[in-house]
Amino acid sequence: MNYDMPVYRPPSEASSLILQVTLGCSHNGCTFCGMYKGKQFHIKSWQEIKIKIETCGRQPYGINRVFLADGDALAVDTGTLLKTLNLLYKTFPNLERVGIYAGPKDIQAKSKDELVELGKAGLKIFYLGIESGSDKILKAVNKGVNSEQMIAAGKKIMDSGLQLSATIILGLGGKDLWQEHARETAAVVSAVNPTYLGALTLMVVPDTPLYKKVQRGDFEVPNSSEILKEIKLLLTNVNLSNCTFRSNHASNYLPLRGILNQDRDKLVELIENALEQPDKVPLRPEYFRGL
Ligand code: SF4
């Protein structure tokens, strides 16, 4: 398939066919994000999407997962998404699930009935960047929504019987707001209770507004020990049921995996060991970290 580069997808969609139903991100304003800076936001027409699917259908390989990109693919109108899903499942008989990037405003723009209908048509997993639960931090990074709106969006997906994979960014409050970031992110995540929770660790991307802030000395990036203290504080404050938690993304210093809350004590113990006995629990070196 020919792509309008660059293309991004969540780590768990590494083996999925990526289908771009939008280009770029309509918000395109988060201070830490450089993903779609050079792309003009565009929603593809049904004709464009249909031709892409039909072209892929002629390829001699089996497809069992599809991921709808770019940034906020849920901005596509529900009718076009339903036609897209129907054609995907018809074209790929082994297709098991379709996933999508979903911004909080796009989720709120759909009714619960629309989300349920999309789920029935096979749109099974929604990826939402919560980033932080702190209103101060959400405003500072220009996320475009506050914590209340983020909770409402996440809960709407869960209440519609769909799977939600939420992402948070460790370090996003810098050295000043790490405690607020940990506690308030724990509160938002607990209110949503997503199916999956993924933690990334902040990496400052050149030419972003955050990068300039760091250069000016207005934002200090926490070091590895400070990040571990932050995730420990966050984990000790979450109240989740049956949420699969992972921090195995390449940006993280310490890979963690477990079900929350049931595995919390084990995860906290591992973090404490990494802090107290770094020779026994090695962290990912800075030069191996990546986005
Ligand atoms: S983080 Fe997401 S919403 Fe923010 S600019 Fe990047 S793609 Fe858009």
Dump pLDDT digits (tens) for 176-189: 999 999 999 999 99
Q: 176 in a domain, yes or no?
A: yes
Is the separation of the CB atoms in 63 and 17 below 8 Å? yes
pLDDT at 61 over 80: no
Which of the four pLDDT bands, split at 50, 70 and 90, describes residue 60? low
Residues in contact with ligand 1 by the CB-under-6-Å rule are 25, 27-30, 33, 35-36, 71, 103, 129
Spacing of C-alpha 151 from chain mean position:
14
Q: 6 in a domain, yes or no?
A: no
pTM tops 0.85? yes
Q: 253 in a domain, yes or no?
A: yes
Q: Give the number of domains in the chain.
A: 1
- Say if strands 163-170 and 243-246 run parallel, antiparallel, or are unpaired: unpaired
Look at residue 280 in the predicted model and tell me its pLDDT.
83
Q: Angle at which helices 78-91 and 46-57 pack, to 10 degrees? A: 10
277 CA to middle of ligand 1, Å? Answer: 37
Q: 16 in a domain, yes or no?
A: yes
Q: 42 in a domain, yes or no?
A: yes
Asked, as a colleague might, if the bond just before 279 is cis with ω within 30 of 0, I would say no
**What CATH number is given to the structural domain containing 111?**
3.20.20.70
Q: 5 in a domain, yes or no?
A: no
Domain span at residue 135 reads: 11-283
Look at residue 142 in the predicted model and tell me its pLDDT.
98
Look at residue 184 in the predicted model and tell me its pLDDT.
98
Q: Whose CA is nearest to atom 2 of ligand 1?
A: 71
Q: Of 20, 35, 145, 200, which is best to mutate to test ligand 1, by the most ligand atoms within 8 angstroms of its C-beta?
A: 35
237 CA to middle of ligand 1, Å? Answer: 26
259 CA to middle of ligand 1, Å? Answer: 27
